[in-house]
Amino acid sequence: MRLTPLAASLPASVPFVGPEAQERARGATFRARLGANESVFGPSPKAIAAMREAAAMAWRYGDPEAHDLRAAIAAHHGVAPDNVMPGQGIDGLLGTLVRLLVAPGTPVVTSRGAYPTFNYHVTGYGGVLHMAPYRDDAEDPEALTALARETGAPLVYLANPDNPMGSWLSAGRITEMIAALPGDCLLILDEAYADFAPEGSVPALDVADPRVIRMRTFSKAHGLAGLRVGYALGHPEMIAAFDRVRDHFGLGIVAQAGARAALADRDWLASVVARVGEARARIGAIAAENGLRALPSATNFVAVDCGRDGDFARAVLRGLIERGVFVRMPFVAPQDRCVRISAGTPEDLDVLAEALPEALRAAGAAGGGGPRSALRGA
C-alpha cells in the first residue's frame, strides 16, 4: 500500500465513535439516543413527502449545480445564488474549504476543544493547528484574533453557538472579530445551531465581505442529519473557488428535494425550536434534581457540569451508556468536567431521569464521592 508520506504519518482516527458502533460493542441498543445532537423530532412531513416522491427518481444523479436548492437558499437569506454553495453537510464543506486554503505547514487557528472534525481536515492536508483556550466556557474571539495575527494564519474557525458547550457570543463581538482580523485571513463562522440561537447572537449577513464564510446545516433543526446537506454563504469569489475541487455529484436527488421542502416549512421549524426549548428546560431540571448544573445553551443540547473533573465526568458518561443512554462529552479540560446531552422526547428524558442518579452513584463509588455540588447539598 503506497500511502502518501503525509497520510502515512497520520494515525487512523474517528473524531466521533457512532452510537451504532457502541451498540454493537455492548450487544444492546440504546434506550435513549441523546448524544449526536440530531433532531429526534424528525423532519418536516412536507420534506418526507418530497423525499418519497424523489425516491422514485433515485436512479438519476442529483443536479451537480444544485440549482433549485441553491436558489431556494439564496431567496431565504436574501442573497444571490452565487453567494451560496450547497454541500455534504458542514463537515464536507469544511473539508473542501481546507483543501482550498491549507497546504503542508500552513498555520490554522481554532479553539482548544472546539469541533474536532475541522481539526481532522486540517491535519489531513498537513496544516498546523494553533489553538486558543476557551474563556468562561465560550470561545474567545479576541484570543483567536491575536493568534491569527501572531501566526499569519489564512484560516480561523469559530462556532457560534458553540459545540460542545452550547454557549454563544453576541453579534457585536463576532462583528468586532471580523473587523480585527488581518485582511488576508478568512473566518469560518460555523452556524450549525443558528436556528436555536437567541436574538442578538447571529450577525447580519454580509456576503460582500471576503473575510468571512458562514456555514449552515439541515442536520439539526431541520432533522435531516441522515441526508448530509449543508451550505456555505459568502463572497462570490470564495464560493466560486469551491468548483475547483468539490465533489460535483455529492448531493443526491433525494437530499436536494428534502432540503428544499424542509427550508420552506417554517411552521415545522418553529415547532421543533419550541420543543427543543422544552427539552433543554427538562434536562436542566433533571440535572438540578441530581445536584448538577446545566450550562445555559443556545443549541439543541445542554452541557451539564458534573461538578468535578474530567475523570469523574467520564465515569458518569460510562454509567449512562451502561444504562442505555447515549451521550457524549467535551474532550478537553476544563470543559471535560461536563457531559453533553441532546434534546430528546419526553420519553427519552424519562429514561435520562431514571439513569442519571444511578450513573452518578456508580461514578461516586468508583471514584470516591459524588459531584462536589451534590456533596455541598446544592
Q: Residue 101 maps to which CATH number?
A: 3.40.640.10
Q: What is the pLDDT of residues 54-83, one digit of tens each?
A: 999 999 999 999 999 999 999 999 999 999
How do residues 165-205 score in pLDDT, each as one tens digit?
999 999 999 999 999 999 899 999 999 999 999 999 999 98
Contact 342, 37 (CB under 8 A): yes
> Which domain-ending residue is among 265, 283, 307?
265
Alpha-carbon span 75 to 164, nearest angstrom: 31
Residues 271 and 310 grouped into a single domain: yes
Give kind and range of the element (H or E) at residue 146: helix 141-151
End residue of a domain, out of 219, 244, 265 = 265
Question: What integer pLDDT is reported at residue 365 of this predicted model?
Answer: 80
- Which triple of cell numbers denotes residue 360? 452518578
Residue 40 grid coordinates:
429526534
For residues 297 and 345, membership in a common domain is answered with yes
C-beta atoms surrounding 44 within 10 Å = 24
Judge residue 14's burial from the number of C-beta atoms within 10 Å of its C-beta, 0-12 exposed, 13-18 middle, 19 or more buried: exposed
Query: Are both 247 and 110 inside the same structural domain?
Result: yes
| Model pTM score | 0.93
Could you give the number of structural domains in the chain? 2
Which string of b and e fits 234-249 if b means at least 16 CB within 10 Å?
Answer: bbbebbebbeeebeee
Shared domain for 272 and 152, answered yes or no, is no
Is residue 211 domain-shared with residue 242, that is, in the same domain?
yes
Distance, CA of 136 to CA of 133 (rounded, Å): 10
Q: Are residues 63 and 143 in the same domain?
A: yes
Q: Are residues 67 and 188 in the same domain?
A: yes
**What is the residue range of 339's domain?**
5-41+267-375
pLDDT digits (tens, 9 = 90+) for 305-323: 999 999 999 999 999 999 9
Rg (CA), the chain: 21
Please give the chain's pLDDT, 378 residues, in tens. Answer: 899 999 999 888 877 889 999 999 999 999 999 999 999 999 999 999 999 999 999 999 999 999 999 999 999 999 999 999 999 999 999 999 999 999 999 999 999 999 999 999 999 999 999 999 999 999 999 999 999 999 999 999 999 999 999 999 999 999 999 999 998 999 999 999 999 999 999 999 899 999 999 999 999 999 999 999 999 999 999 999 999 999 999 999 999 999 999 999 999 999 999 999 999 999 999 999 999 999 999 999 999 999 999 999 999 999 999 999 999 999 999 999 999 999 999 999 999 999 999 999 999 886 645 555 433 222
Co-location of 187 and 287 in the same domain: no
Domain-terminating residue out of 217, 236, 265 = 265
Closest residue by Cα to residue 215 from 77, 102, 93, 111: 93
Same domain, yes or no: 224 and 324:
no
